[in-house]
Chain A
């Protein structure tokens, strides 16, 4: 931990300054996180009054349940889809905005705004657009002979939530890719151009490698987004259906805990999610640390 050379000397004051932060995180972060761990190893009676220690039973139950594997799979497909679509489009849009001379500011504003739309509202907008009866896209698809009903067809349901979630995230990736592109020294690209490298070749051999740190960072951020922030999209559009096809992990924690009242299982699922998000964070920090070394 890097510190300051000049410091103020006081014992009480720093603790006083820290008190609000510590109080809030103790009550609303550490206590609930601890409770999740406690409940994961216990079974509660239906009223949640008495807890019986059951060791790893909740986890065993979880990992023996086909539903949980289905949910893991749905999460994998969903987050991979969101990451690929939103990273790909974000990068393309950023590359072109970086390229054009005129209208850059206008394009930027027009691409940035979905960031500010709540995921649940993104879900509502896309459901309306793709509604099997009233949506204009369903109508267009029917015209070319594709029966579209995301409320019944599980692949279509997945496609719809991926699109809604990716749409919201494109703007975020765009901002970072654009910042990354603008940080690339012009002189390097100019030198390559003088050597006869065309724009596509330059993009592939110079720009893309220099963007790897940004891309890796964004990949982690996008995965965390797809894992956790997309609850609203699922809740508004598919409710985890049809037949559990879009029942991603964070939705299942909610459904099992609040609708199913299965505290033990919900807590065990929370623990698994914690492990996932902590691993992602650690991964990111290790990578960023390396990035610092190699510039």
Chain B
């Protein structure tokens, strides 16, 4: 605050209140819709005061899809993606910052380019590889001629479908290296003296990783965990494709299936109740972990 300008401050508060109201209105409207019986949600205009059917509508949404199961699937998917990305990134960042080895630069660039292409861009071939994750291996065996030695029998038997599985929901989304670069940048700021001291004390690289690097990285890990959890929870296109069994899909996809079409009594109240259930977990995570969330954002992207 540079000067005490009461008028400007008043204006700022009015603007912010209006802004917050605009940002919050869709959620409030959804909440009201979710709490009304169907006759009232279809009234034009819909009442703007909440009713008393929230739990009932949530229960209906729960029954229509396989909501309980889908919530668990979302939680598993988001947690595995966050944990998986963080784990493999911690390890690979350690490898490229603290070691010199042949093809180090190649590995660095191989990981680096994955930053550029989101899964949406290569969606069709990624789906194909998920339908048989051994396809690259089969191709390798055929091209190198190894398979010919066995009369083509190996590639014929190499089948590993990830459709309708947790591996399919998570692995393709783990395959990008955002976290690797965050950790690499962080490792580079750690004084070399620490590694030197660890070496003098006779600690091997893994000991150094576990006792020095990991504890120092906890803030980064927490920040990244929040962002990656939200990222995983909110995935839509990929779970939509990879799962056909409603009990294997995620809650976000489940809610989209609740959007009413042109039926005589469109159950918007149920759709909104389902929507609230699906958006609450990540919203709570962000609000409760706000500090880490902001830190993670500003650190990863810059």
Contact = CB atoms under 8 A, between A and B. Distances in A.
| A and B are interacting partners | yes
A139 B42 CA distance: 12
B302 A217 contact: yes
Interface string A161-194: 0000001001110011001000000100110010
A127 B29 CA distance: 11
B158 interface: no
B279 A118 contact: yes
Interface in A5-45: 5-11, 13-15, 17-18, 20-22, 24-36, 39
Contact of A4 (B23, B44, B127, B195): B195
A144 interface: no
A94 B8 CA distance: 15
Contacts of A13: 95, 99, 205-206
A146 interface: no
Interface stretch (B53-61, B148-156, B284-292): B284-292
Contacts of B96: 14, 18
B172 interface: yes
A99 B9 contact: yes
Given A124-B259, A273-B121, A278-B116, A96 B252 contact: no
Interface stretch (B65-73, B102-110, B214-222): B102-110
B171 to A, nearest CB: 6
A99 B8 contact: yes
Nearest to B302: A217
Interface stretch (A52-60, A76-84, A105-113): A105-113
A32 B20 contact: no
B175 interface: yes
B29 A17 contact: no
A1 B123 contact: no
Given A118-B279, A139-B44, A28 B99 contact: no
B49 interface: no
A116 B46 contact: no
Interface string B265-302: 01010011001001100110111001001100110011
A267 B125 contact: yes
B211 interface: no
A5 B302 CA distance: 25
Interface residues of A, number: 107
Interface in A126-172: 126-129, 131, 133-134, 136, 139-140, 167, 170-172
Contacts of A224: 118
A136 B46 contact: yes
A33 B122 CA distance: 6
Interface of A is mostly: helix
A97 B253 CA distance: 35
B2 A231 contact: no
A125 interface: yes
Give the interface size bracket for B toward A: 35 or more
Residue of B120, B126, B279 with highest tally of chain A CB at under 10 A: B120
Interface of B is mostly: helix
Contacts of B91: 17-18, 20-21
Contacts of B3: 193, 199
B124 A14 contact: no
Contacts of B101: 10-11, 14-15
Nearest to A110: B20
A20 B255 contact: no
B278 to A, nearest CB: 6
A228 to B, nearest CB: 5
A119 B26 CA distance: 13
A190 B252 CA distance: 48
Interface of B: 1-3, 5, 8-9, 12-13, 15-16, 19-20, 23-27, 29-30, 33, 41-42, 44-46, 48, 87-89, 91-92, 94-102, 104-105, 107-108, 110-111, 114-118, 120-130, 133, 135-136, 171-172, 174-177, 180, 187-188, 192, 195-196, 199, 204-206, 208, 230, 233-237, 240-241, 252-253, 255-256, 259, 266, 268, 271-272, 275, 278-279, 282-283, 285-287, 290, 293-294, 297-298, 301-302
5 contacts: A120-B253, A125-B275, A139-B45, A266-B124, A270-B123
Given A10-B205, A107-B16, 4 more contacts: A20-B87, A118-B234, A118-B236, A136-B48
Interface of A: 1-11, 13-15, 17-18, 20-22, 24-36, 39, 89, 92-93, 96-97, 99-101, 103, 107-122, 124-129, 131, 133-134, 136, 139-140, 167, 170-172, 175-176, 179, 186, 189-190, 193, 199, 202, 217, 221, 224, 228-229, 231-232, 235-236, 250, 253-254, 257-258, 263, 266-267, 270, 273-274, 277-278, 281, 288
